[in-house]
Structure formats: structure tokens, C-alpha cells
Amino acid sequence: MAMKIGMLTSGGDCQALNATMRGVVKGLYNSKEQIEIYGFERGYQGLINCDYRILTSREFSGILTEGGTILGTSRVPFKSIQEAGEDGVNKVEEMKKTYKKLGLDALVVLGGNGSQKTANLLSEEGLNVIHLPKTIDNDIYGTDTTFGFQSAIQIATNVIDCIHTTAASHDRVFIVEVMGHKAGWLTLHAGIAGGADIILIPEIPYDVDFVTRAIKERARTGKNFTIIAVAEGAISAEDAALGKKELKKKMADDAEKYSSVSYKLAAELEKKTGFEIRITIPGHVQRGGSPCPYDRVLSSRLGVAASEAILDKDYGKMIAMRNGETVRVPLKDVAGKLKSVDPNSSIIKEARELGICFGDE
């Protein structure tokens, strides 16, 4: 009897999703088992609606370098997974039904934090689940890194590099807004790699007066341009001090005035510095294109390690990378946790010693 393996990609896409699936499938096909792969279309949506196609090993050939996902993806927030839809459908029950109807032996989920919570829920419901950590945000707890992260750093760094030359020519202050609502990993790494002068991340709330001082100090020493790398989720110290309800209201008010944190910051800085401020937002470009070599290796290794866990029937695990080794981490230990940048970590200390301002001093 063939082993029947379901596979889906869920949440925002990123580079190396295809490379990871290729790793899983190659690992499985290289075993003595007979394998059948059921690819669900558009993430959990496909599992809920029993929308799948059977994939042969041929379809996983030549996709190592291909961006996006051959299965398609969608966002089905964890909160909505547990609620019945307008049609009264219980999504968890539908997913279990699909799994049983197809007689699957295991389900491989490639996804970020939200998708991981659903994977854990399905595992608790008795399905044999393996999770692979995907996201450009690198905010999955329990793994040193996630696939997509290094490729996105490369793109965001390239944007900062390009902005550097024009900023210097025009004596301008530039804000480059980098993806990451909850965690600042991508902004921090691209900011350091691109030589940003100021880096603002959600984990270190900023004071606009400190940012102003850093810009003026550069100008005083003859450096008339400044690059500020700002995470989408960067927050002022003033806002961070608000209670949950007040903050929600403040965010809603700001959203009416400014299309993102960069516009709010630019308006304040223009007033305080008198400098011309320009904003560049690469947006979803950061998730696009071919995975970088680091991600190709990482995802190939994670994929094969996932196939080993499946062949060992060791389920309910996330396949993680720790200290350069692939490891199996119980989903129940990591689901629902966020890996944030520690403001006291050495990377922040070293960045400060490079002269980078985080807007908090």
C-alpha cells in the first residue's frame, strides 16, 4: 500500500516554498516506500473544500529555484478556523473529513505562525501533522531561522543599497519601510547589511526626538543624508505606553491620516529637521523571486528532514534548524509563541556600537 501524504502551503507566500516541498518529496521517493502526494490548492482552503490534485515526482523537478508556490496559498486566520462560516461549515471538521476520506497517512504544512497554530490544532485532533517553518519575518519560535528570511534580507538590502546612492547625491533623508508587523528581524538584518543609520523595529519603541537628534548630528558632521530602515510594525514609545483599547483607537486614527508608519514618521521628521524626506516601500517585492542559495540549502535540508520524520511516523512536530542541525520540535511546545528580537541581545549592542540609532536614546 502506498503512503498517502497530503501537502499544503499556507499564509503569505515566500521564496523557497517550492524548494522545501521538493526536499520533502525527494526524501520520500528515495525511501523504499511507495508514495502518493496529495497537493491541496490554496492552503487550508483546499483541505477544507477537499480541493486537491495528485502530484507526481515529475512535478517537483525543476522547482528548486522557482519563487511562489506551485500549490497556491491563502490566509485562513486561526481565529476564523474555529468559527463556523456563513454557510455554517465547521472548518476543523471539514479538514478532518478530507483527511479521512482520502485516507492520508500524514499532512505536511508549510506555513508561518498562524498556520502553525492550525497545524497544532489538527495534530491535537488526531491528524498526523508535520510543520515546516516558512516566513520572511523569521518570527517562528523554536527554530533559529525560517526559509524565506535570507532571500528577503537580500532584496531589502538591495533596496537600501540603491537608495543610498540617490540619498547621498541629493542630501536627502530616506525612509525605507521593510516588511514585518510584529517582529523586526528583517529590518534589523537588512538595515545593518545596507548600512542604515537609523533602524526602527517593533521591539524597540522609538522617540521621534531621538531620531531627529541622530539626523541632525549626522548633518553637523557633514553627512547630509540619512537612511532610516523602518519595520512596518515600528511603534513610538508614546503609543507603546497606551493601554490595549486606547492603542487600537490611536492606530485607527493614524490609519486615516497616514497610509503607513513611514508617512507618520516622515511628517513628524520634516517638521522637526527641516530636511526633505522621501519614502520607499518595496512591499511584496520582498517575498518574490528566486530563493537565495542559503534558503535553497536550508529548505532542502528541512524538507528532507521532514520526510525522515514521516518515514519514522514521528508526527506532531515542526522541523526546525538549531545550531546548524535539523531537529524535530513538538508543535505543542511552540504553537502560539512569537520569536521577537531581544533588545538586549548582542546584535543590537553591536549595531549600536556601529553608530546605528534605534530611536530610544
Regarding 111 and contact with ligand F6P (CB under 6 A), the answer is no
Please report how close the Cβ of residue 12 comes to ligand F6P at its closest, in angstroms. Answer: 3
Q: Is 177 in the site for ligand F6P (CB under 6 A)?
A: no
Q: Footprint of ligand F6P on residues 2-31 (CB under 6 A)?
A: 11-12
Which residues, numbered 277-336, are part of the site for ligand F6P (CB under 6 A)? 287
3-state secondary structure the chain: CCEEEEEEECCCCCCCHHHHHHHHHHHHHCCCCCEEEEEECCCHHHHHHCCEEEECHHHHCCCCCCCCCCCCCCCCCHHHHHCCCCCCCCHHHHHHHHHHHHCCCEEEEEECHHHHHHHHHHHHCCCCEEEEEECCCCCECCCCCCECHHHHHHHHHHHHHHHHHHHHHHCCEEEEEECCCCCCHHHHHHHHHCCCCEEECCCCCECHHHHHHHHHHHHHCCCCCEEEEEECCCCEHHHHCCCHHHHHHHHHHHHHHCCCHHHHHHHHHHHHHCCCEEEECCHHHHHCCCCCHHHHHHHHHHHHHHHHHHHCCCCCEEEEEECCEEEEEEHHHHCCCECCCCCCCHHHHHHHHCCCECCCC
105 binds ligand F6P (CB under 6 A): no
Site string for ligand F6P, 123-162 (x = CB under 6 A): ------------xxx-------------------------
Minimum CB separation from ligand F6P for residue 17, in Å?
Answer: 11
Tell me which residues in 62-101 interact with ligand F6P (CB under 6 A).
75
181 in contact with ligand F6P (CB under 6 A) = yes
Q: Which is nearer to ligand F6P, 73 or 128 (CB)?
A: 73
137: annotated active-site residue: yes
Could you say which of 13, 137, 139, 295 is catalytic?
Answer: 137
Q: Does 43 bind ligand F6P (CB under 6 A)?
A: no
Residues with catalytic roles:
137
- In the complex, which residues of this chain contact ligand F6P (CB under 6 A)? 11-12, 75, 112, 135-137, 179-181, 232, 287
